[in-house]
Amino acid sequence: MKYDFDKRVDRTNKASYKWDQSEKLFGRADILPLWVADMDFESPQEVVEAIKQRAAQGIYGYTIRSQAYYDAITGWLSRRHGWSIQQEWISSSPGVVPALSIMVQAFTEPGDGIILQSPVYYPFYDVIKMNGRKVVDNPLILEDGYYTIDFDLLTEQLSAGAKMLFLCSPHNPGGRVWKQEELKRVGDLCVAHDVLVVVDEIHHDLVLSGHKHTPFASLSEAFADRAITCIAPSKTFNLAGLQAANVIISNEQLRQKYNALLKTLSIHMESFFGLTAIESSYTYGDEWLDQLIPYLEGNLNTLLTYMQEHLPQIKVIKPEGTYLVWIDCTNISSDHQVLKSLMFDKAGVAFSEGSVFGKQGRGYLRINIACPRSLLVEALGRFKLAIDTTAKS
Ligand SMILES: Cc1ncc(COP(=O)(O)O)c(C=O)c1O
């Protein structure tokens, strides 16, 4: 089956977080929203059908995880990532961010330091701070448009007593798909300092040609023993509204503690549709995903060419994975208010404003390219026109 990612689907008036809040958030309704990370593509047909069939049951009572559900997850991880896991290691969560927050509560104490690598997905800060823990920032090093980990600082921070590391792999918004050598260095350091690694692998399926995602916990038993891996089909198959994620923990003690807290919070049951989404997407989604990746690569190339030809003052951090493109607009302005006004008031586009990802994000924007190409081109055109008009006035 050939999927049509060029098809523009009207998402307005559907209670869409991205499409139905423009007036409220940006002051005008006609914004092209290329910000929050969901895609403007319909999910795979098999997933839509499975959810329709589930809806047709007409009774939406409490549900259980079937063998097919577990097989779908273990099959996907083995097929797509070469990661062989045992069914018992699988737990769940209403989302990856809720899982991060639960990890913080389960495995750290108020006041403990938790390391993140900025610029990074902004809820990482929230779950640390709102749980009364301290953010220990290990900023990524940006050189020639390429992010790497500051291992010297990481070593210092681990030695100074940080209790947990949030590893975003692949990295949002830096776009890096960490190489095995990099992951091994991180893992060795965390083993040496006996620190837990919460690995957010939500973007693991969205890896562009020439790169390979390695599940951190698959690298060694010692890493797996202190790794808590969060995955979800939500980014891969555009299912974020169904709030279904999985947590893989091979260390039995850690898993029991996590599961006990899930139960304490009474969020250990799976959602009726979330379960179906996980099972059907991991069972039938390969072909769709294999077509999605080249389409995203086409969009990335379109953006790169457009920037080079029309907006050379903007530097693009070329992603290796995710559908999020981090652009350096410091040659236009490092003032986030100026960039916001340029996007929202003048251009009528909404990319994500960079300072929310950390202070190195000032002067940066993040563009979500998971949309029909014509929409991306329209948004870039609006952005360029606003920049040109502002420069002249
Ligand atoms: C790195 C990362 N983690 C987690 C999430 C969100 O996860 P969830 O919606 O399952 O809480 C996102 C969404 O953009 C993300 O980019």
The full DSSP string for 37-79 is S--SSPPPHHHHHHHHHHHHT---------HHHHHHHHHHHHH
Distance 202 CA to ligand 1 centre (A): 6
- Taking the chain (393 residues) in runs of 10, the rounded mean pLDDT of each run is 94 96 95 97 97 98 96 98 98 96 98 98 98 98 98 98 98 98 98 98 98 98 98 98 97 98 93 97 98 98 98 98 98 96 97 97 98 98 96 73
Measured in degrees and rounded to the nearest 5, phi and psi for residue 118 equal -80, 160
Residue 350 pairs with which residues in a beta bridge? 33
What pLDDT, on a 0 to 100 scale, did the predictor assign at position 167? 98
- Please report the pLDDT score of residue 276 as a whole number: 98
Cα(155) to ligand 1 centroid in Å equals 27
Give the number of other Cβ atoms within 10 Å of residue 103's Cβ: 26
Q: How far is the CA of 385 from the centre of ligand 1 (A)?
A: 32
| Number of C-beta neighbours around residue 253 at 10 A | 9
Q: Indicate whether residue 168 lines ligand 1 (CB < 6 A).
A: yes
38 lines ligand 1 (CB under 6 A): no
Angle at 171 between CA 354 and CA 250, to 5 degrees: 140
pLDDT for 24 equals: 96
The pLDDT, as a whole number, for residue 391 is 78
pTM score, whole prediction: 0.97
Pocket test for ligand 1, best of 235, 242, 246, 247 (most atoms within 8 A of CB): 235
Hey, which of 38, 202, 325 would you mutate to test ligand 1's pocket, going by the most ligand atoms within 8 Å of its Cβ?
A: 202
Question: What integer pLDDT is reported at residue 390 of this predicted model?
Answer: 87
For residue 62, the model assigns a pLDDT of: 95
